[in-house]
Every structure is written in C-alpha cells, then in structure tokens.
Amino acid sequence: MYKILVDSGCDLTADFLKANDIGLVYLSYSVDGVEYIDKADDTDAVISLYNKMKEGKLTSTSQPLQEDIYQQFKLYAEQGVSVVYVTLSSGISGTYDSACMARNRCKEEYPSAEVEVVDSLAASGGYGLLIRHAVEERAKGMPFADMCEWLRVHSHHVVHWFTVDDLEYLHRGGRVSRTVAVVGGVLKLKPVMRVDEGGHLVSNNIARGRKNALRELVNNVIESCKNYAEGIEQTVCIHHADCPEDAALCKKLLEESGVAKKVIVEYIGPTIGCHSGPGTIAVFCFGNTREKEKS
C-alpha cells in the first residue's frame, strides 16, 4: 500500500486522516507574532483564532520547510514505500515548489524510490474533497501510478465557490484594493469568488447582502453537480469560518435540491482562515469546469 501525504491546507480532520492512513505535513500560522502549528486537531484553537482576528489581531501563515518535506520523503524511501504528496494549490502557496525540490533531492539519493508530488490546485474543503475521493479509489485497489494520474486529472474538476463577510482580510492579502474594501463594507457588498484553473482566487460577482451571496454560492454548486458528466454520486463539502448558521442554511438548500448524496460541514482551518477571515463560507463539489456553468 502506498502513502498519501497532504498538508494542513486541506482542512481534513485529524480523525479522518488517521482513519484513512494519510500523512500530514504541518503548515504554521502566527497571531501577533506568536507562532502555532496547524495540526488539524483542535477546533477550540480555530475558534480562538477567529475571535482574535475579530479583535484586530494580525495573522500570517508559513509553508513547511523544504528540509521537513524531504525528511518525510526520505523516511518512506528507506522503507520502500511509494508516496504521493498532494499539496495546497500552487496558486496560493509556495508549498508545491518546495515539495518538488524535496522530491528531486530524495530521488537523487534514492533513485529507485517512488516519490511523486501533485498540485491539488485547490484549498480547504476543495482540496479535502479531492483527497476523500482519492482514498475511495485507493481502497478499490488503484495502483500508485494510476493514482498519481487520477489526482492530476481530477484536480481540475474540483469546484470552489466562496464568499467572505469582511473584505478587509482580502485587502490585507492583496486580493482587493483599499477602496473596494471600504466601499464594499459601507454598501454591504459581498464578493462571490471561485478558484480558477490555475488554483488562484478570482472574483466572479458581487452580491448585495450576505443571504444573496450564500444563495448564489449554492446555486452555482447545484449547476455544477447537475452538469458533471462523470456521473459519480456527489459529496458536497461546506466549510465555514465560525459561521455555523450560514453553513446550516447552505446545507439545507443543497439537501432540498437533491443533487448531493451527502453534505459535509467542517471548519475552515487556520492556514486558509488567516487570509479569508472570520465569516468566510465556501462550498465545494466536482464539476466539468471551474467556470460558472449553465444548467
């Protein structure tokens, strides 16, 4: 059996990772200069982070050191275990590039080792959704090489739709200008955003008010689920940054639509939440394209 590695940006729970024998590469975050490790195992720490952000505390994140990734690769190489590390999207993190350099170093020292790196082109629940399906394929007996190819193909079909409650956090991350952040706050405008083919965050529309933004997220996901040609039964993931009531509304709308066999609700972890801010909500599914589809 080969090993699948992920990093903290996938927002899968520690229980899920353990139950499915998935390794975790830790990313870190800081709050007002104090560094923490994102181990995907502490909901209280996530809620505390969002409370501190609401108080105006400054946050940042750090990718893993290339050396740390290399040491994980080396461990499996020495054991003769094939490993594929599926990373947080290269469109928002440098982790993929670091992992590729660590892989190259490992293969120089262990030429027969099977070490692969795949860019998920995804984040949070979208990244996690890709891994959820990968685990199912591995359980069916998918060989290592086929798994690496499956991940590369299906990464392009993970659809992300999200909105934020406060544009200030996107401004801090360079996603919107100061003017847009201020005007949007005054007019109660909410961006409806997605992740594009390159794994970058892009704006798709502006909704007037929170409820309209949430309904647009859900409607876009419903369109993608209905149009997805592969015919798999859809599991839809909803991830939120400490706004469970809004997540419950999105879940209700999705269940009423009948497009999903299962709707999973989880928190957005620190790695992503530090940049999107409290009140962020995102919905993820598989689709034919990451563009907005027409039903």
- Measured torsion, CA atoms of residues 121, 256, 215, 11, in degrees rounded to the nearest 10: -30
Q: According to the model, what pLDDT value does residue 206 have?
A: 83
Q: According to the model, what pLDDT value does residue 286 have?
A: 95
CATH of domain 3-27+63-156: 3.40.50.10440
Give the integer Cα–Cα distance in Å for 153 and 148.
Answer: 9
The whole-number mean pLDDT for each consecutive block of 10 residues of the chain, a chain of 295 residues, reads 96 96 95 91 90 92 93 97 98 95 98 97 97 96 98 97 80 55 56 90 84 95 86 86 96 93 96 92 94 68
**First-to-last CA distance in the chain?**
41
CATH of domain 157-286: 3.30.1180.10
Where would I find the H helices in the chain? 14-19, 43-54, 66-79, 95-109, 124-139, 144-154, 167-172, 178-187, 210-227, 244-257, 270-276
Q: According to the model, what pLDDT value does residue 230 have?
A: 61
Residue 174: left if φ>0, alpha if ψ -120 to 50, beta else—which one?
left
Q: According to the model, what pLDDT value does residue 32 have?
A: 93
Q: Domain segments of the chain: what residues? A: 3-27+63-156, 157-286
